[in-house]
Structure 1
């Protein structure tokens, strides 16, 4: 209890809790209070701040600028998103926007892991570094973007295309990672290729009392069986190789199924939507060709409609990337055990990498259950405070490289 009382009086913990209590929760987020909070933080840090709206007035991007000694050099981007996913309050044992701390120092709130902690740790590390008299060689930008949790279309996706971002001359970016349940820290250098794929099956229609040939349902069943057998191979890969995690295999899930108007009418069209995250070891073109071949085997009439089809982009984590070398050196000097991974989902780092800018996903959270998007999301106060010290090391490491 004494520790919890001590942490509750820590100024950085209080700032973190204040940020968590702002309900920037989907759907229909009002970012006003969040923007005002960040403006106050920038003012306390004596950093200039801009708020721009690349898409809509209701979708702000907040940018703080920490001028470097050599501003002509490519800058460092510290990015985080302001939004959080919905909550089902009845399944929480704490108010999801109360940011209360229990006797063990666990702070409960939506966004503790994903990813208001990182956004606040950037601020805290900047505060500590500035207080010590430090000024980075490269200019450092702290950006807070909207709507990452709905795909980034209203935030980072458009922000990186604009004149403001271009003028920032970003050379390297940091963004979110995922908590680790052991002592190590994953560092993410890429994301799997993301498809949101709609399969449209067309076939013979007619009365439900007859046995029509080449129906959409038959074709769907055939292709679905092939896809599920492929999915099973990925499950087996994970089960048979303990060195792999979910980001190393291809995931495939049926997410929507539509078709038919009446219970006694065989529909001419059935549509199935799949969320597919393709491992970097998987030949993307070959997979697409295989799905089309299965459609032909089923009798034809299969159309592939890509709702979303992201290209594969990665950041090199080898000697060819000086930012990686500087970042890794900082981690090593801290004595942190790390491993490079492919991100399981999708983050705003994708849009940055797509612009040709190296980006790494990293959240300084270890020995913690992975609770992003889950009920009772929490982060321990000591883990949060340790993360500030991690960034105190990593920010100069990359900014002075």
Structure 2
């Protein structure tokens, strides 16, 4: 059984369930088939749901003996983002084991969880595990496309099959290199930032490209809009969830004081001496960020552009609304230039949070310290989004967590999400598999 999780991960990677955001992509049914073959057997009930042809989610269940006892859902997604093989050292869909690591798209995000959770579920059933509370495993489709055909669809159409009091999913658990820390600090993602996809439409007047003098060129105006929006600097918010994190770290007084002072924190993040990956994480966790990511416009090389669209990826702190975003953009662009700009707020969802004060937190801490002596979980805010937000909206306490060895550094680990050369080491797979088993037994019995 020691090789079961790596072998399952390899199979999931090789199935190439690539989600490019279109309804017909994903093909998660291939991974659902593989997982069903692993999970089927005595003690586990299996259910399969397809929101669209080829886009299956798999639910496995070990029913508890006490309907009043809390239930736990272990959730991993089965789709992955595209990968450009030219930029990888090894085949992104080869699932090769090289020097104690499994390589491939999804090895970190998040087929490692999906495979280790499945193996832990099967192991528990084989051991005769009959808990008081119900244990549910969900291998869900379409997380990388926003959850429309996965978690969101399931909660709308099959809520009774996936609803649970507590949920564990990605990400978290990698050791944070916090200055001054004397323990191994493992972030539990107790919440995640909100997000808004905003389009700025910049208007101009068409004309011949051979006579550009004093023309109303939408592209020129758009370039200025991009510069002004990119220059928006939010003051770090050092209260609320960030303060909870800092205080939980039990840092030396001077470090804690630095992290709880907005000006000092800004200076730290912009310092050339700061760890860039950590600085980016701290900045993202304490501010609402606005990143211009795409520009489209113009109709022909010799035509002055009369319309340019700028796409913004915005990640919001708790409490920030869509109206707040529009106001911030208008203030940055300025009244004169805004007269030529329309702001279109597309998909928007506010931040979500779960309390770290829970019996599941206690079980995670207990299991983590046993598997990684000297480690301790701390509450953190995920700067991206996961399917956990749907379950928090449905009333569940949801955490993002895992357990990883120190073979892959925090910097390398963070760079592999949607990046090149994604891989996970065998020891991390073992630790996570043991974690899910230990937590289920402690929390549900």
- TM-score under structure 2 normalisation? 0.78
Q: Deviations over 1:262-296 (max 9, x none)?
A: 33433332211111112348676434212124352
- Paired residues for 1:184-195 under 5 Å: 184-195=185-196
Partner of 2:341: 302
Question: Aligned partners of 1:168 and 1:85: how far apart in 2?
Answer: 24
Segment drifting more, 283-292 vs 32-41: 283-292
Structure 1 portions without partners, runs of 5+: 1-6
Q: Is the 2:219–2:297 Cα contact (8 Å) retained in structure 1? A: no
Q: Which of these residues, 66, 72, 76, is aligned with residue 76 of structure 1?
A: 72
Partner of 2:306: 268
Segment drifting more, 58-67 vs 375-384: 375-384
Partner of 2:254: none
Question: Aligned partners of 2:297 and 2:13: how far apart in 1?
Answer: 42
Q: Deviations over 1:107-157 (max 9, x none)?
A: 222222111111121122223333443322211110111121122222112
Q: Which of these residues, 16, 34, 38, is aligned with residue 23 of structure 1?
A: 16
Partner of 2:249: none
RMSD: 2.9
Change in Cα spacing, 1:221 to 1:100, as seen in structure 2 (3 Å) is closer
Change in Cα spacing, 1:206 to 1:376, as seen in structure 2 (3 Å) is closer
Q: Is the 2:319–2:350 Cα contact (8 Å) retained in structure 1? A: no
Whether 1:324 aligns to 2:349 is no
- Paired residues for 1:328-343 under 5 Å: 328-332=365-369, 334=371, 335=373, 336-343=375-382
Q: Is the 1:198–1:304 Cα contact (8 Å) retained in structure 2? A: yes
Q: Deviations over 1:206-249 (max 9, x none)?
A: 44425447653454344323212215988866335868253333
Partner of 1:393: 438
Question: Aligned partners of 2:173 and 2:359: how far apart in 1?
Answer: 26
Question: Aligned partners of 1:135 and 1:228: how far apart in 2?
Answer: 54
Where 1:94 maps in the other structure, the secondary structure is coil
Question: Aligned partners of 2:195 and 2:42: how far apart in 1?
Answer: 38
Partner of 2:97: 101
Partner of 2:128: 133
Question: Aligned partners of 2:326 and 2:80: how far apart in 1?
Answer: 33
Partner of 1:249: 287
Partner of 2:239: none
Partner of 1:345: 384
Structure 2 portions without partners, runs of 5+: 177-183, 237-265
Q: CA deviation at 1:203?
A: 3.5
Partner of 1:3: none
Q: Which of these residues, 384, 397, 420, is aligned with residue 375 of structure 1?
A: 420
Q: Is the 1:195–1:309 Cα contact (8 Å) retained in structure 2? A: yes
Partner of 2:225: 223
- TM-score under structure 1 normalisation? 0.85
Partner of 1:365: 404
Q: Deviations over 1:165-223 (max 9, x none)?
A: 23554111111105636654321112212111100122344444254476534543443
Where 1:170 maps in the other structure, the secondary structure is coil
Question: Aligned partners of 1:398 and 1:64: how far apart in 2?
Answer: 18
Change in Cα spacing, 1:283 to 1:48, as seen in structure 2 (3 Å) is closer
Question: Aligned partners of 1:260 and 1:304: how far apart in 2?
Answer: 19
Corresponding pairs, count = 388
Where 1:266 maps in the other structure, the secondary structure is coil
Change in Cα spacing, 1:169 to 1:277, as seen in structure 2 (3 Å) is closer
Partner of 1:10: 3
Where 2:433 maps in the other structure, the secondary structure is helix
Partner of 1:152: 147
Q: Is the 1:83–1:146 Cα contact (8 Å) retained in structure 2? A: yes
Partner of 2:270: 239
Partner of 1:4: none
Q: Is the 1:278–1:284 Cα contact (8 Å) retained in structure 2? A: no
Partner of 2:353: 314
Whether 1:171 aligns to 2:216 is no
Q: Is the 1:188–1:340 Cα contact (8 Å) retained in structure 2? A: yes
Q: Is the 1:82–1:145 Cα contact (8 Å) retained in structure 2? A: yes
